[in-house]
Amino acid sequence: MADTIVTLDEVVKRFGDREVLSGVTLSVTRGQVVCLIGASGSGKSTLLRCCNKLEDIDGGTISVFGTDLSGDDVRGELVRRHIGIVFQSFNLFPHRTVLDNITMGPRRALKMVKATAEATALDLLTQFGLAEKAKDYPDRLSGGQQQRVAIIRALAMDPELLLLDEITSALDPELVGEVLDAVRDLARSGMTMILATHEIAFARDVADLVVFLEGGRIVESGPPEQVLVEPREAATRRFLSRYLGDAPT
Amino acid sequence: MTSVTLLVLGAVAIFILSPGAKTFGHYFLNPTIFADTFFGNSAKNLDPMWQAFIKNIEMCLAAEPLVLIWALPVALLRNSPSPLLAGPRLVATAYVDLARGVPLVLVVYAVYFGLPSLNLPFISDRTWFQYGLFCLVFCYGAYVSEVYRAGVQSVPYSQTLAGQAIGLTPFQLNRYVTIPQALRIVVAPLINDFVSLQKDTAIIGIGAGIIEVLKAAQISQGVFFNDTCYVAAGVLFLIICVPLTRLADALQARDQRARLAGAR
Ligand SMILES: Nc1ncnc2c1ncn2[C@@H]1O[C@H](COP(=O)(O)OP(=O)(O)OP(=O)(O)O)[C@@H](O)[C@H]1O
Ligand SMILES: [Mg+2]
């Protein structure tokens, strides 16, 4: 367990009276790819946001790189400098060029000098096939390109953990492939990732661990061959049959 | 375009052909009186009107920065969700409602005639200029704080999340993400408010008892018994206002175009 990056222990999160996470326990080791699946509202996004302290938790503990995030003295922005997150809706900065979008974090949060930050950004853009878009504003890009820029923006911080929240859900079907390919490459390169996804086939392909959430609880977790192919729990089967269109009995 | 031209020509025609056109021209559009009012007439001991207008300019130039600064804490308070600030927030809201609801001219009366009668140290013996600034900042601070508020609120929350996600501190988040995006939205409405403020400096003169442009027009009218003096005052304001409103429109159009073209 030396290389455990994230440990969640009985994590509880409420919004007002509503309990959205009810005792989630999970640990992620370096290089692991964890896929969160579950119906809308099951708490996938909330779980991801708790991991980088975009949300504070109401019970249990989360530790990341051995630091307990639950303490009030832990500053969220310091945690987030090591943990990238990419959202469903890209959220690029519309008033900045692609290059500036990517270098803002390294330059402002990590105090990297401009030239270094831009060199790194251009390397990443080249790697993702977007080098010629560096000077464009985000609105000039297709959804798939924007989402890849958002991934690069997260990677430019050189994160040790990447959180991806349904990053293909807002894309036209023909653009999903290019983004998933980028994520697949990242998985191969050994990036530790937790991703919420509705792409079951993709999860089966890249995941080391699949976690099925329902009503803020982990119903079932295990390797993809088990959870996605021969689920033990009836709830998982029900969920999968809805997504795959056939009902495994 | 042509219909507009027709409309304008029509209006001018009605004007010229009206039975009283000659009298109207004499009393409102008299070139000699216009020149005498504008540049002064030493024979009649009349100072140039543009000199009086400088007082209006000074007032609006001094008031505008104060308005821009004062509106900021008001807007921040009104926007703050913190329960700790519930009391101050209520005060800020009450202030905005009051200042936007009461006509400036009434504020001017209250300040110029009310405050001195209180016989308080400091408050009751300010200069006309300071009272004027107070009136303008009081009224326009409320308007401008609402412009700020709308600007900040129009930046989507997802932008804040994205800024937080790359480890920006709350200050950096404002500095690099929220405020730059709010600013583009706010510039044109701010110019529009500045134009109104500029015109409303004439109302200050009502209470201040100084010779600013409106008073100068009245004096000139008393000399010539001719209303062209008021037209001259109007022209002075237009010289400032029209370019500014054009600028505001151009900025707004640019922003709109950029948005549509996706070239931001
Ligand atoms: N900021 C918030 N305030 C109040 N309730 C919230 C908030 N964020 C999420 N919730 C609620 O928490 C529950 C879980 O939401 P969450 O976004 O984590 O679900 P999800 O699994 O990501 O769903 P989806 O697949 O639709 O993205 C939902 O019922 C949602 O309404
Ligand atoms: Mg979600």
Mark residue A128 as left, alpha or beta (left: phi above 0; alpha: psi -120 to 50; beta: remaining): alpha
pLDDT attached to residue A245:
64
Tokens of A88: 């469903």
Which residues contact ligand 1 via a Cβ below 6 A? A 15, 20, 38, 40-46, 166, 196
> What would the mean pLDDT of B212-217 be, rounded to a whole number?
86
pLDDT attached to residue B261:
54
For chain B, say whether A247 makes contact (Cβ under 8 Å). no
- State the sign of the Cα–Cα–Cα–Cα dihedral A167, A170, A171, A172: positive
3-state DSSP assignment of residue B85: helix
Which amino acid does the sequence have at A30? R
Tokens of A25: 């326990």
Nearest CA in chain B to A80: B167
Tokens of A164: 């991806």
Q: What is the pLDDT of residues B89-136, one digit of tens each?
A: 999 999 999 999 999 999 999 999 988 888 888 888 888 999 999 999
> What's the fold here for domain B51-258?
MetI-like fold (1.10.3720)
Instruction: Tell me the CATH number for domain A4-93+162-244.
Output: 3.40.50.300
- Cβ pair A95:B264 closer than 8 A: yes
3-state DSSP assignment of residue B82: coil
Closest CB to B165 among A78, A80, A140: A80
| A94 within 8 A of A136, measured Cβ to Cβ | no
pLDDT attached to residue A61:
94
* Chain A partners within 8 Å of B263 (Cβ): 137, 139-140
Mark residue A148 as left, alpha or beta (left: phi above 0; alpha: psi -120 to 50; beta: remaining): alpha
Q: What is the pLDDT of residues B49-76, one digit of tens each?
A: 888 899 899 999 999 999 999 999 999 8
For chain B, say whether A27 makes contact (Cβ under 8 Å). no
Q: What is the pLDDT of residues B223-262, one digit of tens each?
A: 888 888 899 889 988 988 888 889 888 888 877 776 655 4
pLDDT, mean of each 10-residue run, chain A (249 residues): 84 95 95 95 95 92 89 84 93 95 96 96 94 94 93 95 94 90 93 94 94 96 94 93 64
Residue closest by Cα to atom 30 of ligand 1: A41
Q: What is the pLDDT of residues B21-31, one digit of tens each?
A: 888 888 888 88
Listed by start position, the domains of chain B span: 51-258
pLDDT attached to residue A44:
96
- Cβ pair B181:A110 closer than 8 A: no
**Tell me, what's the ipTM?**
0.89
pLDDT attached to residue A170:
87
